[in-house]
A and B are shown apart, each in its own frame.
Chain A
Amino acid sequence: MRRLVRSYGASPAHLLTLLASFALAGYAGVRLLAGAPWQVAAWLVGAAVAHDLVLAPLYALADAPLTAVARRRRGNALHAVPWVNHVRFPAVVSGVLLLLFAPSIFRWSEGYERTTALSSAPYLGRWLLLTAVLFAVSAAAYAIRLRRARRRRG
């Protein structure tokens, strides 16, 4: 038993849990892949790759200059109120909305209008306006914090 644990690298319960999971995933997976096996497999793996190796590096890259600025400004009395998160908040919220609703915003669906009898035109404008509001609210919050900080310092 101890030898098994050592050569496997974890407890037998670990192995049994994973085997049970793979069996169920296999049962469903056979059906999932039945129509277009290579394409569906590519979507499954592609989903993980698109997140881990495309989306995550992209947002990390976008955040890098903000992080750098934030660390440089730390302790600087002139910047008693850090502003970096006042950029991050609206940017992240707007980015999430873009990520979720890109097909509507960029009108990628060919059948939307014909199916729903609704216009596909308003979404880009709505997202831009929401983004504007998010940044404006964040800027206002920053201004208020700045004023309070100055008043506190007299």
Chain B
Amino acid sequence: MRPLRLAARGPFRPGVFRSPLRGPWLTAVLGITLLGGLSLVLVTGLLSYAAYNPGLAGNDKTPDADLLGAYLFPWPARPHWLYRLNQGTHVTLGLVLVPVLLAKLWSVLPKLFELPPVRSVAQALERLSLLLLVGGGIFEFVTGVLNIQYWYVFPGSFYRLHLYGAWVFTAALAAHVVLKLPRAVEALRSRSFREVLHTDTAGTAPEPPDPDHLVSPDPAPATISRRGALGLVAASSLAVLLVTVGQSLGGAWRRTALLAPRGQDPGVSELGVQVNKTASAAGVRPEQTLAATWALTLAGGAGPVRLTLAQLAALPQRTSFLPIACVEGWSTEDLAWTGVPLRDLAALAGVPDPASVHVQSLQEGGFGSTRLRRNQVLHPDSLLALRLQDVELPLDHGYPARVIVPANPGVHNTKWVTSLTFEA
């Protein structure tokens, strides 16, 4: 043991972590809060994968998911706000949990510098698992936070990294919960939350020594109470909520999202409606959309049917009130879309009851080619829209024609549509 004691310098020195707040109770409060929040973030994340209908050819961004996609199911088209709620919850709650995560990591930081670093095979394995837990967890938060801010510096496709990273993190988290939950419950019972809320800094004493050595062996006097520290975490989370949630509530709330990527209204040329991806960013040139050159092809039946914009506009029109909801968590309120129901176009193509439709766009690559399922095609509110908020579609919103389907991820509401192939 003597050589190890010689090596104990810097953060490895016993007694270097002196906060009297660290202890099993505080770690348990933060851990259980995080567990509850992360469970919802995980479920909404897995649902978001299902919302892309990866079972349809060409839709799956992670086709090698195999058993990790075993739970997938046909994504419903009602209620129409389902994806909006799911994704708003996933992203907003994820952001709000960051202060809790940071506090949780702070509360267990001394464990990182424990000496000797490895006491047994069990402990070595557990530390490896903790590397996956901490590394995987932060990896998930970082990729999510970077993706919603369009800073694509991560090594590969966001869909791959965020989905598979989530499973690595979940695997490590599940083990951590199994191994630590009994101790966390016991620690929670060790003092009353009410009492903590009534104890000021002067009255804040360290927790009794614990077998995990979370409690400092040489605690300093408190400079903040436990309620103060928890209040600091709560205030940080509340601040994150206040500067982001508006981008998912839409309408007048949007401007309250001061730091969220979609906290501003776009200009009048976009009708003040959020644009997922502009025509220029999607590589769509205005001359490709001119009424003289553009035509819609309906295929899948006996022979292709070609319709000009004027012919489309002459078909019976319907108005649906549907949001745009993006995987990035932002969304719009219900907007008035006017166009031809997809099921009418399926009938016109000669495939009145299709299993799916293959939608193709002027946009090349990305989401320029997607598939929608039967329930989405046949939903009466699903349209090939020609108008938005009672005016002709702006180019950035998909002129001359775009898909809009209830509860559909934004990128599957394909813009600048050129053909619909209904598949039996």
Using a CB–CB distance below 8 Å, which chain A residues touch chain B? 7-10, 14-15, 17-18, 20-22, 24-25, 27-29, 31-32, 34-36, 39-40, 43-48, 50-52, 56-57, 66-67, 70-71, 74, 82, 84-85, 88-89, 92-93, 96-97, 99-101, 103-105, 108-109, 111-112, 114-119, 122-123, 126-127, 130, 134
Contact = CB atoms under 8 A, between A and B. Distances in A.
Interface in B109-136: 109, 112, 119-123, 125-126, 128-129, 131-132, 134-136
A24 B150 contact: no
B105 to A, nearest CB: 6
29 contacts: A8-B122, A9-B119, A10-B120, A14-B122, A21-B172, A22-B125, A24-B174, A27-B68, A28-B68, A28-B167, A31-B64, A39-B156, A43-B155, A44-B168, A48-B138, A50-B138, A52-B134, A74-B221, A82-B223, A84-B223, A89-B235, A92-B236, A96-B236, A96-B240, A100-B98, A101-B243, A109-B152, A111-B152, A112-B150
Contacts of A29: 164, 168
A129 B89 CA distance: 27
B172 to A, nearest CB: 6
Contacts of A67: 220, 223
- Give the 9 A-B residue pairs with the shortest CB-CB distance, closest first: A9-B120, A28-B167, A21-B175, A9-B122, A10-B122, A32-B164, A39-B155, A47-B138, A70-B223
A25 B168 contact: yes
A44 B168 CA distance: 10
B223 A66 contact: yes
Contacts of A20: 175
A57 to B, nearest CB: 8
B151 interface: yes
Interface in B220-272: 220-221, 223-224, 228, 232, 235-236, 239-240, 243, 258-259, 261-262, 264, 266-267, 270
B73 interface: no
Contacts of B224: 84-85, 88
Nearest to A129: B258
Nearest to B19: A67
Contact of B179 (A17, A117, A118): A17
B169 to A, nearest CB: 9
Nearest to B65: A31
Nearest to B330: A116
Contacts of A35: 155-157, 160
Interface of B: 11, 62, 64-65, 67-68, 95, 98-99, 102, 105-106, 109, 112, 119-123, 125-126, 128-129, 131-132, 134-139, 142, 145-146, 149-152, 154-157, 160-161, 164-168, 170-172, 174-175, 178-179, 201, 220-221, 223-224, 228, 232, 235-236, 239-240, 243, 258-259, 261-262, 264, 266-267, 270, 274-275, 277-278, 280-281, 396
Chain B at the A interface: SS class:
helix
Nearest to A24: B171
A27 B67 contact: yes
A134 B171 CA distance: 39
A26 to B, nearest CB: 8
Contact of A115 (B142, B157, B277): B277
B261 A48 contact: no
A52 B278 contact: no
A103 B146 contact: yes
Nearest to A6: B120
A18 B156 contact: no
Nearest to A84: B223
A48 B134 contact: yes
A62 to B, nearest CB: 13
> Which of A20, A24, A43, A100 is the most central at the interface, judged by chain B CB atoms within 10 Å of its CB?
A100
Contacts of B152: 109, 111
Contacts of B105: 51-52, 56
Nearest to A90: B235
Given A14-B179, A117-B275, A119-B264, A32 B138 contact: no
B125 A15 contact: yes
A51 B125 contact: no
A94 to B, nearest CB: 9
A42 to B, nearest CB: 8
Contacts of A88: 224, 232
> Which of A32, A82, A92 is the most central at the interface, judged by chain B CB atoms within 10 Å of its CB?
A32
Given A40-B155, A43-B139, A116-B262, A100 B172 contact: no
